[in-house]
């Protein structure tokens, strides 16, 4: 099997978050002369690499044969456009790693969409493991694909599958990424500051199918104007979430039709709350079956919740606490609140996204929430949008949790599904969720 050979090539890695660093290590392992660049100053070096930190130097881009781009760097960056115009290869970290993984015969299963990517990726990996298959699980979620690529390049054992969460940013420069099966779960307004319009956003998501051929499978929601099945290459199989051919629910049974293994998948033992988790499960089952795992080997009852996605973190005194910190936009929060029974105490707040409209939460919260507690930088804006509902305000999450605890009654669910990013108080949604979990458990030093 041919190894990745970059000897003598000048490689520039743009962006030094986790995926950029993993790509740099892979390029060094393949013999490249690697230079790193990031606009943040004072970053840690990488062994075997030179670096320009604190600014971008046009000469670094002009001298590179291959430029590997972290997803945080827009593909429209002028320096990248100029490099591509002069003939340099410009590719995202995902595409760079995918060519290695695919060369080693590991089938890729790709998951994208505005909401539900991480849970579906997690569910797919767990289904494969429970069915006795080995699986790498990562990409935009957790471990960059370049980590697997480097392990394979250096002689590691190949897993049966690589399950990869894929963001729209990664799909701007997808390179040779060619999944065996992939899904676009949904598409709602998000990241429009980068993509501009819903049409562009949808077209970017659909690139996940662009290199599919015979034997490959593309899964889509039915009837979405920006996600038409006509975008699926003719040689590939197009399947629908909630339609035929594809998967549809009948009670607690998921029925597959037009797949490689049609028939029922009993799901009564699946324990995750909410219609959104059933949709994520349906997508995971379709991906697993289309990848070659028989229905009879699937065990939906073995699946567990991913941290920060409708994660039950505490049950005491008749009150259930749920951590849905990953709900960083309004649509994700709507899904979270739709997934719990009344009565609930809703925690909404943080750093809202530009142009966010919280009014669509009103009908759902009017039906389900006994109290809405707003907090953080966008708390006043949220309270204004939800005026007329039972409201309380807190300066930050810690105070919001204290208010919720004092207001809770037996039978209540306290749900942190904040509809906002976390950066007014926390490093990430994970940090916010970890603090909420600790506070819910009475660990006051969180």
For residue 5, being part of any structural domain is answered with no
Residues tagged active-site: 117, 140, 191
Distance in angstroms (rounded) separating the CA atoms of residues 68 and 357 = 36
Considering 27, 58, 87, which residue would you say is the last residue of a domain? 87
Of all residues in the chain, the percent with pLDDT exceeding 90 is 89
Span 151-170, mean pLDDT?
97
In terms of pLDDT, which residue wins out, 367 or 305?
A: 367
Span 384-401, mean pLDDT?
98
Q: Mind listing the pLDDT tens digit for each residue in 300-309?
A: 999 998 899 8
Residues 273, 320, single domain; the answer is: no
Return the pLDDT at 355: 87
- Of 286-295, 339-348, 413-422, the range with the lowest mean pLDDT is 339-348
Residues 295, 319, single domain; the answer is: no
For residue 3, being part of any structural domain is answered with no
Distances (CA, A) of 66 to 80, 93, 151, 329: 11, 11, 21, 35
Q: Mind listing the pLDDT tens digit for each residue in 121-138?
A: 999 999 999 999 999 999
Q: Which domain does 273 fall in, by range? A: 95-302
**Tally of CB atoms within 10 A around 225:** 9
Kindly indicate the confidence band of residue 295, based on its pLDDT and cuts at 50, 70 and 90.
very high
Residues 63, 144, single domain; the answer is: no
**pLDDT at residue 2 greater than cutoff 80:** no
For residue 4, being part of any structural domain is answered with no
| Mean model confidence pLDDT for the chain | 95
Number of domains in the chain: 3
- Which residues fall within 8 angstroms of residue 234, CB to CB, at 6 or more apart? none
Structure tokens at 41: 């100053």
Q: What is the CATH number of the domain that holds 20?
A: 3.40.50.720
Q: What is the CATH number of the domain that holds 385?
A: 3.90.190.20
**pLDDT at residue 201 greater than cutoff 80:** yes
Distance in angstroms (rounded) separating the CA atoms of residues 326 and 310 = 9
Residues 298, 193, single domain; the answer is: yes
- Of 2-6, 263-267, 327-331, the range with the lowest mean pLDDT is 2-6
For residue 2, being part of any structural domain is answered with no
Q: Are 101 and 108 in contact (CB under 8 A)?
A: yes
Residues 27, 118, single domain; the answer is: no
**Residue the block writes with tokens 């004072």:** 42
Q: Mind listing the pLDDT tens digit for each residue in 328-353?
A: 999 889 999 998 988 999 999 999 98
Q: Mind listing the pLDDT tens digit for each residue in 216-229?
A: 999 999 999 999 99
**pLDDT at residue 1 greater than cutoff 60:** no
Considering 87, 118, 140, which residue would you say is the last residue of a domain? 87
Span 427-438, mean pLDDT?
97
**pLDDT at residue 387 greater than cutoff 70:** yes
Residues 80, 102, single domain; the answer is: no
Residues 228, 142, single domain; the answer is: yes
Residues 228, 292, single domain; the answer is: yes
Return the pLDDT at 354: 86
For residue 1, being part of any structural domain is answered with no
For residue 35, being part of any structural domain is answered with yes
Q: What is the dihedral of CA 305, 307, 311, 315, to 10 degrees?
A: 110
Considering 267, 302, 337, which residue would you say is the last residue of a domain? 302
Nearest to 388 by CA among 407, 363, 409: 363
Residues 260, 151, single domain; the answer is: yes
Residues 274, 351, single domain; the answer is: no
Residues 372, 399, single domain; the answer is: yes
**pTM of the full structure:** 0.84
Kindly indicate the confidence band of residue 115, based on its pLDDT and cuts at 50, 70 and 90.
confident
Nearest to 394 by CA among 412, 413, 411, 371: 371
List helix spans (H) across 38-140.
58-63, 78-85, 93-103, 117-130
Q: What is the CATH number of the domain that holds 266?
A: 3.40.1190.10
Return the pLDDT at 339: 87
Residues 268, 129, single domain; the answer is: yes
For residue 445, being part of any structural domain is answered with no
For residue 68, being part of any structural domain is answered with yes
**pLDDT at residue 446 greater than cutoff 90:** no
Measured N-to-C along each axis, helices 145-153 and 93-103 cross at an angle, to the nearest 10 degrees, of 40
**pLDDT at residue 181 greater than cutoff 80:** yes
Q: Mind listing the pLDDT tens digit for each residue in 271-286?
A: 888 888 999 999 999 9
**pLDDT at residue 36 greater than cutoff 70:** yes
Structure tokens at 106: 């590991």
Kindly indicate the confidence band of residue 196, based on its pLDDT and cuts at 50, 70 and 90.
confident
Nearest to 356 by CA among 385, 322, 376, 324: 385
């Amino acid at each position: 099997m041919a190894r990745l050979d970059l000897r003598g090539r000048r490689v520039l890695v743009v962006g030094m978050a986790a995926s950029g660093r993993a790509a740099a290590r892979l390029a060094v392992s393949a013999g490249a002369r690697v230079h790193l660049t990031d606009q943040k100053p004072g970053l840690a070096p990488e062994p075997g690499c030179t670096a320009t930190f604190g600014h971008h130097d046009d000469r670094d881009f002009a001298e590179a044969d291959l430029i590997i781009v972290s997803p945080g760097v827009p593909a429209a960056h002028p320096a990248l456009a100029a490099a591509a115009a002069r003939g340099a290869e410009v590719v995202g970290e995902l595409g760079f790693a995918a060519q290695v993984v695919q060369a080693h015969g590991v089938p890729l299963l790709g998951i994208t969409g505005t909401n539900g990517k991480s849970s579906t990726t997690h569910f797919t990996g767990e289904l494969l493991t429970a069915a006795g298959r080995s699986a790498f699980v990562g990409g935009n979620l957790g471990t960059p694909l370049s980590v697997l690529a480097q392990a394979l390049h250096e002689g590691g054992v190949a897993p049966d599958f690589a399950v990869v969460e894929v963001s729209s940013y990664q799909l701007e420069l997808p390179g040779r990424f060619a999944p065996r099966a992939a899904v676009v779960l949904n598409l709602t307004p998000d990241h429009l500051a980068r993509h501009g319009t819903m049409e562009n956003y949808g077209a970017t998501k659909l690139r996940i199918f662009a290199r599919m051929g015979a034997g490959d499978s593309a899964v889509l929601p039915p009837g979405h104007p920006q996600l038409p099945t006509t975008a699926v290459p003719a040689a590939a199989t197009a399947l629908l979430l909630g339609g035929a051919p594809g998967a549809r629910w009948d009670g607690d049974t998921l029925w597959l039709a037009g797949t490689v293994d049609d028939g029922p998948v009993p799901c009564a033992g699946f324990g995750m709350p909410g219609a959104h988790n059933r949709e994520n499960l349906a997508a995971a089952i379709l991906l697993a079956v289309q990848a070659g795992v028989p229905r009879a080997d699937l065990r939906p009852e073995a699946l567990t919740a991913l941290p920060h996605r409708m994660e039950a973190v505490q049950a005491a005194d008749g009150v259930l606490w749920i951590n849905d910190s990953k709900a960083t936009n309004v649509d994700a929060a709507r899904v979270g609140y739709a997934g719990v029974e009344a009565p609930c105490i809703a925690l909404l707040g943080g750093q809202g996204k530009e142009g966010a409209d919280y009014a669509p939460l009103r009908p759902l919260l009017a039906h389900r929430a006994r109290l809405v507690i707003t907090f953080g930088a966008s708390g006043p804006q949220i309270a204004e949008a939800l005026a007329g509902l039972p409201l309380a305000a807190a300066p930050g999450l810690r105070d919001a949790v204290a208010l919720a605890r004092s207001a809770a009654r037996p039978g209540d669910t306290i749900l942190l599904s904040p509809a906002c990013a976390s950066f007014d108080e926390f490093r990430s949604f994970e940090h916010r969720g970890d603090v909420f979990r600790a506070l819910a458990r009475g660990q006051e030093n969180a």
